[in-house]
Amino acid sequence: SQQGEEDPQALSIQEGENATMNCSYKTSINNLQWYRQNSGRGLVHLILIRSNEREKHSGRLRVTLDTSKKSSSLLITASRAADTASYFCATGVGNFNKFYFGSGTKLNVKP
């Protein structure tokens, strides 16, 4: 099975609210990355957090990583309709950093 699993599978919120997505994984990782995908198009890289980091910020995004619980969370603050997309976490594993993607969270931000 895949390394990462996102939770929830789907999330619907109003514009202006915060959105939180979680990612759990199974083995030790080198890094964890979050991506956004709009309607079956290519993925857009959002943020990378290394295994020795606990929190990173980028604009309205905040990512946390808890390696003891093998979990990460992505917080999008003050969401906008344009944030509507699927969000994936990907874990870099092993010597050659093979990447495993989770199943994704579908976020719908209603205007």
Partner 1 sequence: KAGVTQTPRYLIKTRGQQVTLSCSPISGHRSVSWYQQTPGQGLQFLFEYFSETQRNKGNFPGRFSGRQFSNSRSEMNVSTLELGDSALYLCASSSTPLEGNYEQYFGPGTRLTVT
Of the pair 67, 103, the CB lying nearest partner 1 is at 103
Which of 81, 91, 84, 107 is closest to 8 using CA atoms?
107
Of the pair 41, 69, the CB lying nearest partner 1 is at 41
Of 8-16, 59-67, 75-83, 99-107, which segment contacts partner 1 by CB under 8 A? 99-107
Is 43 near partner 1 (CB under 8 A)?
yes
Question: Cβ–Cβ contacts within 10 Å for residue 64, how many?
Answer: 16
Of 15-23, 58-66, 72-80, 93-101, which segment contacts partner 1 by CB under 8 A? 93-101
| Interface characters, 45-74, with partner 1 (x: CB under 8 A) | x--x-x------------------------
Burial 77-90 (b: 16+ CB within 10 A, else e): eebeeebbbbbbbb
Q: Is 97 exposed, middle or buried (0-12, 13-18, 19+ CB in 10 A)?
A: exposed
Is 41 near partner 1 (CB under 8 A)?
yes
